[in-house]
Amino acid sequence: MVTPEKENALAKLGEKVALVTGGSSGIGRTTALLFAKEGAKVAIASRRQQEGQNVVDEIRRAGGEAIFVRTDVSIADDCANAVDKTVAAFGKLDVAFNNAGVEVFGKPLADTDESTWDFVTGINLKGMFLSMKYEIPEMLKAGGGAIVNMSSTYGIVASAFGGSSYHASKEGIIGLTKAAALEYAKQHIRVNAICPAFVATAMVETFLEETGMTDQIKAFHPVGRLGTELEMAQSVVFLASDAASFITGTALSVDGGMAAA
């Protein structure tokens, strides 16, 4: 019988080492803080150095261990360096939350510039490939690990908001996640994705205020509200933990019912 104490212990990350790309703000920051709270040593990989260092300082003030590595996930050398620095600091890599990404909406497909397509897919999809390319070998050395990739509800359903490159990149992440999960399942590396709908990050809140679309966006979600950063972070921590030991190749909708509507 699993007691409440043992059940809670399953969700802990113990002395695991976690790498978070895009960890300087929003869902990445909140997840990094929760990883640390659950006992993990955390590497923050982000393009924004000051914001990333602020997250590191916050973790350290709370008694945790963390480092910052300036990283552009669209650059192979940066992804390799983020993993190398993580292992150099903490000795191994157990968990990765590949969260770095961009959003571009507004123009229909035929009006989308090639440069926009390359920018979005270069960070969202190529960046996911490069992150896993360098994370997986270290996890193999550690005897296994858990990867959680950031996709989107818009990787499952489409919209007419002029985001063809975003939709393509986020659906591509789901395919990449499933393929990697199958390739490394027998080597004890689990690979999953989360698919959030609209989350009340600072960026989204600003967008809603500027456009006056709060009621319209909330209506997309059958539960009648936006998600929170903490709800996304809790989903990531669950998938990264031993509590999800039988889950791999899954794209978990964390969307208030949006994809089911």
Please count the helices (runs of H) and the strands (runs of E) in the chain. 10, 7
Could you give the residue numbers annotated as active site?
166
Please report the sign of the dihedral spanned by the C-alpha atoms of residue 239, residue 240, residue 245, residue 246.
positive
Residue 78, number of CB atoms within 10 A of its CB: 20
- HSE-CB of 15 using CA atoms within 13 angstroms: 4
The letter for the amino acid at 225 is R
Beta partners for residue 253, in sequence order: 195
Can you tell me the distance from the alpha carbon of 115 to that of 122, in angstroms, rounded to the nearest whole number? 10
**H or E element that contains 145:** strand 145-150
Q: Which residue, 183, 92, 195, is CA-closest to 129?
A: 183
Question: Tokens 């979005």 identify what position?
Answer: 120
Beta sheet of 145-150, edge-to-edge order: 66-70, 41-46, 17-21, 95-98, 145-150, 189-196, 251-254
**H or E element that contains 68:** strand 66-70
Per-residue tokens: 253: 């909708």
- HSE-CB of 195 using CA atoms within 13 angstroms: 26
